[in-house]
């Protein structure tokens, strides 16, 4: 028999709320079995949830997480999923590098604006004092 989890088991094990798990289920990222009102999560659901949480931490969208989950195929060694993940990691890294450049440029512009304001303020104060 394969391992199954209740929603509270997964929430406790992965340190997230049951509400978050239900949200991912509503988004179609998880598909637990139902026994009456009880949700029964499979090992695959747990792997999907781990992938969602990891993706979220590194800035992937839910659509990107969904795409990676759909590629999950343990029988093939997950080669397609892993290659897709590597491509997304490269893309995300490039986005972050560009954001860093943009932030550095913004800091330079702030420094320039601050310097001009400080000079203008000093000039205004000296003119008032004359």
Q: Which sequence spans correspond to the domains of the chain?
A: 1-58, 71-130
Q: What is the pTM of this model?
A: 0.73
**pLDDT over 80 (residue 34):** yes
- Say what the pLDDT of residue 62 is: 93
What is the band of 6 on the pLDDT scale with cuts at 50, 70, 90?
very high
32, two tokens: 């637990």
What is the band of 54 on the pLDDT scale with cuts at 50, 70, 90?
very high
Q: Does domain 1-58 have CATH number 2.60.40.60?
A: no
70 vs 52: CA distance, rounded Å: 12
Q: Is 57 helix (H, G, I), strand (E, B) or coil?
A: helix
103 vs 97: CA distance, rounded Å: 10
What value does the mean pLDDT take over residues 3-9? 93
């Amino acid at each position: 028999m394969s391992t199954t989890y209740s929603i509270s088991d997964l929430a406790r094990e992965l340190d997230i709320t049951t509400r978050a798990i239900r949200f991912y289920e509503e988004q179609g990222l998880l598909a637990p079995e139902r026994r009456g009102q009880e949700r029964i999560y499979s090992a695959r659901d747990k792997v999907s949830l781990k992938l969602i949480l990891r993706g979220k931490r590194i800035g992937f969208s839910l659509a990107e997480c969904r795409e990676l989950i759909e590629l999950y195929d343990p029988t093939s060694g997950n080669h397609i999923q892993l290659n897709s993940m590597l491509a997304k990691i490269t893309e995300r890294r490039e986005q972050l590098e560009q954001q860093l450049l943009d932030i550095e440029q913004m800091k330079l512009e702030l420094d320039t604006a601050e310097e001009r304001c400080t000079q203008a303020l000093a000039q205004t104060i000296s003119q008032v004092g004359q």
